[in-house]
Structure 1
Amino acid sequence: MKLWKRATGVLKDKTSLWIAKLSRKTPYRNPILEAAIIKATSHDEDHLDYKNLQRVFQWVRANPLHLKPLAWALAVRMEKTRNWVVALKGLMLYHGVLCCDIPKVQGVGKLPFDLSNFSDGHSRSETTWGFTVFVRAYFAYLDQRSAFVASEVRKHSKKIRQGKLKVEDTLMEELERLQKMQGLIDMLLQIRPQNQKMECSGLMLEAMDCVIVEAFDLYGKIYKAIERVLLKIYHVGGKMEASIALKVLKKAALQGDELSSYFEYCRDLGVLNASRCPKIEQIPGEDIRDLERIINNGATQKKDHSDNDDDEKKRFVERDNNTIIATIDKQSESQEKWLKTVITDKWEVFEEDCLVDAKEFPSNGLKIAASTNPFDDLYSLITYPPPPPPAACSQVLPDLISFY
């Protein structure tokens, strides 16, 4: 039966390729791109065609106009398939496209196909129901993720059109975004193998690699956004904002525990990226208690813990595209590597080391963590000229203070 199923899949793929090659090129159809999509989403359960995945990503990144024929070809293939292998490969392909940092892709919105009612029609339901559930859960997440990103892009563009030079969200807007992102985390946690047969599938492990990276990246964004929100609440926030933020923090703490268990489960399955991801950083209980104190007492300033020198931490907040860069322990030994103070007779100069490519500037001795994104290798599309080396951190500062 398995041999017959494999032969039927090969015949279907060859037929689709033959039809694609005979098709005429139009704004909605590109025979070469369509052939690459068919090969990348073949019926072969034991093989994922990385070469043609890379070709698809190359087409999209080389010219965003290729997104239209890509969406058309993939939608046609996904809508008519009844095979879980083709459906899962198609979702992985589109996931990689969504990860491309291209405005045209980010503004697409919902997926161009619908797999919410997908069911495998070529095997017995008792043996494929787990794959059906997996495909539906994966599609639901990608569809909601794409819609969320598109809404954020439209909101940002609207503010720019309104002439707002500094596009910065209000505290309530950031809290609403955090709640939506936490909803995406809940959807990600539903994507998991349902039985032992699925756990042994190589294609399933490849898909879980993509899910693991997505979950870790999304939780990291939530964690940084929470830091930014807390800073605003401590300075200008009220009881209502603090109440919403408290719910967000409690849910984030719960999701941190759930993700830790999820990653441990994936490590047991043998998912490669699960073993590479660092430990999930938990929400500090002190932040939750501070919000409860604000709600109960109406205080908007964070409690002073300066009496305890051993536990004192100093936060250096630097905005880079509205992102909190780091929280540094005041007493840590690593601080000397990142911050040096040079005292002169005129002023104090704070000299910060810059993060650079360790390969290009080996003398810095910095270690750059290797990316775990499973699509990274597939994004090597166009050879761009290397950026100019960063400006040296040691520079002569003008005397801005004059003494009379």
Structure 2
Amino acid sequence: MRLWQKATGAIKDRKSIWTAKLMHNGPYQNPIFEAVVIKATSHDEHCIDCKNVQRVFQWLRTSPLHLKPLLFALSFRMEKTKNWVVAIKGLMLMHGVFCTNIAAVQKMGRLPFDFSNFSDGYLHPSKAWGFNSFVRAYFNYLDQRSAFVSSEFKRVSMKNNKKDGLEVEETLMEELKMLQNFQALIDSLLHIKPRNESMKQNALILEAMDCVIVEIFDVYSKFCKRMANVLMRIYDVGGREEAAVALKVLQKASSQGEDLSCYFKFCKVIGVLNASQCPKIERISDEDIEDLERIISSGDNMAIVLSDSCMEKELKTVITEQWEVFDDVDDYSSSWQNKNPFLDSSYDYSLVCQPPPPPQVLPDLISF
């Protein structure tokens, strides 16, 4: 049965390639691009054509003008398919395209195809529901991520243009809104997981989960860095309104950290390679949240300083009504800034995610 499915899939791919060659070239139609996309998103669930995946990323790095023909070829392929293998490979390819960080990709907006109601047309419904759920969740995240990146790119560009090209610092509320968007992205990522036993042993699913783990690592690291900076600004110039929003973000971060820990444990159990190298998620203590609540409710101006006595071991939150002058300390956030392997020039742009940096402990956000 498996041999028959593999042969049928190969015939379909070959037929699609021949059809692409016979199509007339339109403004964005390119038979060569379409053939490469078809090979990169083949029906074979046991193999990923990394050679043609590399060609896609190489074309994008060569010229952003190649983006529209590639998107046309990929969306045409995705809109026609009813096969979960082709759908997941297409989403992984789209994920890699996003991570090239090309300006044209950042301005793209929503995905050019829709998998929100994807349904496999070949598996029995009792087996297909898990794959359908996986494809829909993966699509939902990528679509949400693309829309978020596009809106931020346009907003920052418009703001800088109004200031004659000078970079403008974001307001606290803008930073807090971005933190909430990051948390929404993390929630979407946590929905991407295999939901039945057969999926947990599928090589392609585990490969996709590797990419998801790396993405979680990247998004959560950015969130923590921004959260630390926002808290320092709130302690410096923030008002009660900003502090109240920050408290909600911090409370959600506390529960989200527990969800991430459970998610990583689940991924380790099913054998996701990158999950074994993820950092430990530090729990935000109740005392830290209570300290922030007291700052919000206090009528006096209060400052947050770092106690010198605990600098050697760990940072600790101290509340005082008097400002203290102290020497500049190192930027501790630099120790846990991590890059998505898709973005590192030392990595190839392939569907197979490279291992993330060595495990590191994410710091306590309040004590930062």
Q: Residue in 2 aligned with 1:198?
A: 199
Where 2:243 maps in the other structure, the secondary structure is: helix
Q: Residue in 1 aligned with 2:329?
A: 316
Where 2:199 maps in the other structure, the secondary structure is: helix
Query: Alpha-carbon deviation of 1:308?
Result: 4.1
Q: Give a deviation string over 1:327-370, Cα, whole Å, max 9, x none.
A: 79xxxxxxxxxxxxxxxxxxxxxxxxxxxxxxxxxxxxxxx999
Q: Residue in 2 aligned with 1:234?
A: 235
Q: Give a deviation string over 1:23-64, Cα, whole Å, max 9, x none.
A: 344430122221110001000011111111111111111111
Aligned AA for 2:295?
I
Where 1:379 maps in the other structure, the secondary structure is: coil
Q: Residue in 1 aligned with 2:15?
A: 15
Q: Residue in 1 aligned with 2:54?
A: 54
Q: Residue in 2 aligned with 1:364?
A: none
Aligned AA for 1:326?
S
Q: Is 1:71 aligned with 2:34? A: no
Q: Residue in 2 aligned with 1:289?
A: 290
Where 2:348 maps in the other structure, the secondary structure is: helix
- What does 1:260-271 correspond to in 2, within 5 Å? 260-271=261-272
Query: Alpha-carbon deviation of 1:373?
Result: 4.8
Aligned AA for 1:379?
Y
Using a 3 Å threshold, how does the CA distance of structure 1 residues 256 and 196 change in structure 2: closer, same or farther?
A: same
Query: Alpha-carbon deviation of 1:315?
Result: 6.7
Larger displacement relative to structure 2 (237-246 or 197-206): 237-246
Q: Residue in 2 aligned with 1:145?
A: 145
- What does 1:373-388 correspond to in 2, within 5 Å? 373=342, 377-379=347-349
Query: Alpha-carbon deviation of 1:305?
Result: 5.6
Q: Is 1:326 aligned with 2:334? A: yes
CA contact (8 A) 1:315 1:327 kept: no
Q: Give a deviation string over 1:194-249, Cα, whole Å, max 9, x none.
A: 01100000000000000000011111111011111101110111111111100101
Using a 3 Å threshold, how does the CA distance of structure 1 residues 307 and 145 change in structure 2: closer, same or farther?
A: closer
Q: Is 1:112 aligned with 2:106? A: no
Aligned AA for 1:262?
Y
Query: Alpha-carbon deviation of 1:101?
Result: 1.5
Q: Give the whole-Å Cα distance in 2 for the aligned partners of 1:307 and 1:49.
A: 55
CA contact (8 A) 1:246 1:288 kept: yes
Using a 3 Å threshold, how does the CA distance of structure 1 residues 327 and 102 change in structure 2: closer, same or farther?
A: closer
- What does 1:210-221 correspond to in 2, within 5 Å? 210-221=211-222
- What does 1:250-399 correspond to in 2, within 5 Å? 250-283=251-284, 285=286, 287-304=288-305, 306=307, 308-309=309-310, 313=315, 316=329, 325-326=333-334, 372-373=341-342, 377-379=347-349
Using a 3 Å threshold, how does the CA distance of structure 1 residues 30 and 283 change in structure 2: closer, same or farther?
A: farther
Aligned AA for 2:329?
F
- What does 1:70-149 correspond to in 2, within 5 Å? 70-149=70-149
Where 1:326 maps in the other structure, the secondary structure is: helix
CA contact (8 A) 1:209 1:374 kept: no
Q: Give the whole-Å Cα distance in 1 for the aligned partners of 2:210 and 2:167.
A: 37
CA contact (8 A) 1:130 1:198 kept: yes
Q: Which has the larger radius of gyration?
A: 1
Q: Give the whole-Å Cα distance in 1 for the aligned partners of 2:65 and 2:153.
A: 18
- Structure having the higher helix fraction is 2
Q: Give the whole-Å Cα distance in 2 for the aligned partners of 1:305 and 1:209.
A: 38
CA contact (8 A) 1:277 1:372 kept: no
Aligned AA for 2:273?
L
Aligned AA for 1:205?
L
Query: Alpha-carbon deviation of 1:128?
Result: 1.3
CA contact (8 A) 1:290 1:303 kept: no
Q: Residue in 2 aligned with 1:167?
A: 168
Larger displacement relative to structure 2 (211-220 or 368-377): 368-377
Query: Alpha-carbon deviation of 1:377?
Result: 3.7
Count of residue pairs the alignment pairs up:
336
**Greater RCO (Cα-Cα under 8 Å, separation 6 or more):** 2
Gaps of 5+ in 2: 316-326, 351-368
Query: Alpha-carbon deviation of 1:283?
Result: 3.7
Query: Alpha-carbon deviation of 1:316?
Result: 3.3
Using a 3 Å threshold, how does the CA distance of structure 1 residues 369 and 11 change in structure 2: closer, same or farther?
A: same
Q: Give the whole-Å Cα distance in 2 for the aligned partners of 1:369 and 1:217.
A: 7
Using a 3 Å threshold, how does the CA distance of structure 1 residues 293 and 261 change in structure 2: closer, same or farther?
A: same
Gaps of 5+ in 1: 319-323, 329-367, 381-404
CA contact (8 A) 2:88 2:135 kept: yes
Q: Give the whole-Å Cα distance in 2 for the aligned partners of 1:152 and 1:34.
A: 31
CA contact (8 A) 1:316 1:326 kept: no
Q: Give the whole-Å Cα distance in 2 for the aligned partners of 1:83 and 1:45.
A: 10
Query: Alpha-carbon deviation of 1:260?
Result: 1.3
Q: Give a deviation string over 1:247-270, Cα, whole Å, max 9, x none.
A: 101111111111111111111111
Using a 3 Å threshold, how does the CA distance of structure 1 residues 188 and 20 change in structure 2: closer, same or farther?
A: same
